[in-house]
Amino acid sequence: MIRACPSCGQRNRIPPAHLHQTGNCGKCKAELKPIDTPIDADVELFDAISKEAKVPVLIDFWAAWCGPCRVAAPEVKKVAAEMAGRAVVMKVDTEAHPQLAARYGVRGIPNFVVLRDGQLVMQQPGLVDSHQMKGWLEQAERRG
């Protein structure tokens, strides 16, 4: 994954296994904090993160036309910020990547999946708040 340095703008490649860690910019050596926002994932990025992440991964399956998905979006963003360094959060647009939704049997959205070490820990369709999502990730964290 490519992340821009907040200090100098340099584009830095961050391996999926290190998204939860603090690093340094390759150019100016400024601190690059753990990813704290949801990652919009395509199939390639989804597969890399879900297989290589060393922390639990929350996936939000959504679509732009879905009202409850729009309500869930700020909650998902909040979880990404609160769990930075302890979890990674991805968003998968089911319209753009239906093969990923099919892989997890997603029939209704929003639909949330938690993975740990590439394995399904839990799956929950329907709207939930950030407290519930955070609880799932904390539970998955203890399993590791």
Cβ contact 55:88 at 8 Å: yes
Residues 6 or more apart whose Cβ sits within 8 Å of residue 98: none
The full set of domains in the chain, from first to last, is 2-32 (no CATH), 39-143 (3.40.30.10)
- What pLDDT score was predicted for residue 66? 97
The span from the CA of 126 to the CA of 5, in Å, is: 36
The whole-number average pLDDT for the span 104-128 is 97
Helix (H) or strand (E) holding 12: strand 11-13
Cis peptide before 34 (omega within 30 of 0): no
- What pLDDT score was predicted for residue 85? 97
Quick one: tokens of 71? 């309500």
The span from the CA of 107 to the CA of 3, in Å, is: 32
The residues annotated with a catalytic role in the active site are 66, 69
**What are 1-21's pLDDT values in tens digits?**
999 999 999 999 999 999 999
Judge if pTM exceeds 0.85. Answer: yes
Residues 6 or more apart whose Cβ sits within 8 Å of residue 77: 37, 38
Cβ contact 14:1 at 8 Å: yes
Average pLDDT, whole number, for the chain? 96
- What pLDDT score was predicted for residue 143? 83
Cβ contact 52:14 at 8 Å: no
* Angle at alpha carbon of residue 108, lines to 132 and 140, rounded to 5°: 35
Cβ contact 117:144 at 8 Å: yes
